[in-house]
Amino acid sequence: MPIDWPLLRFLSKKKVILASASPRRREILTDMGLVFEVVTTLKPDENNPLAYESPAEYVKDTARMKAKEVLERCQADRSLPDADIVIGADTVVVIDGHVLEKPRDDNHAEAMLQKLSGRTHEVLTGVCVLGPCERTFVETTRVTFSEIDADTIKAYVASREPFDKAGAYGIQGEASLFVQSIEGDYWNVVN
């Protein structure tokens, strides 16, 4: 019998919108038992991570921008669902102070994976929950990769798995073979 979580009981009485196209985010919320609708953002990610004091501020602000854009559209457009609560999120990988987002092409994905090979990096997810009030937070997880040879990187990139994922990998897929250790929340790295 599933646990009767007070937060889920509260949210079950609300119209919840997920402001994300990520199938992994949908799956996580569904597995939690949350009932929600998806409305994706129309604006491309225009934020520049270099304009922020830290990667944490960048992901938090990007999540806020996504949630606000969807909330405003839901309020203005009657064809979209009503929203009591909108959840926005953004994930990046950070290594040597550099923010890695989704790869643009094969070469970009290979370069990202080469940079991560044999090293420790951080995965940051910014979350914004908009409703009667606003709550934003950032979750950070440290991931260490084993050394990955060039042929393995090329084969992984050829699988197409890296292309909708920050840092060019998904820990829940074939890239789990690259992971030597993880410190923090596994679900934060599922991207």
Catalytic residues: 90
Checking 70-75 for CB contacts under 8 A at 24+ apart, the result is 70/17, 70/19, 70/39, 70/40, 70/41, 71/17, 71/19, 71/130, 73/39, 73/42, 74/17, 74/39
Per-residue DSSP letter, 141: E
Contacts of 67 (CB under 8 A, 6+ apart): 19, 86, 87, 88, 128, 129, 130
* φ, ψ at 26 (rounded to 5°): -60, -45
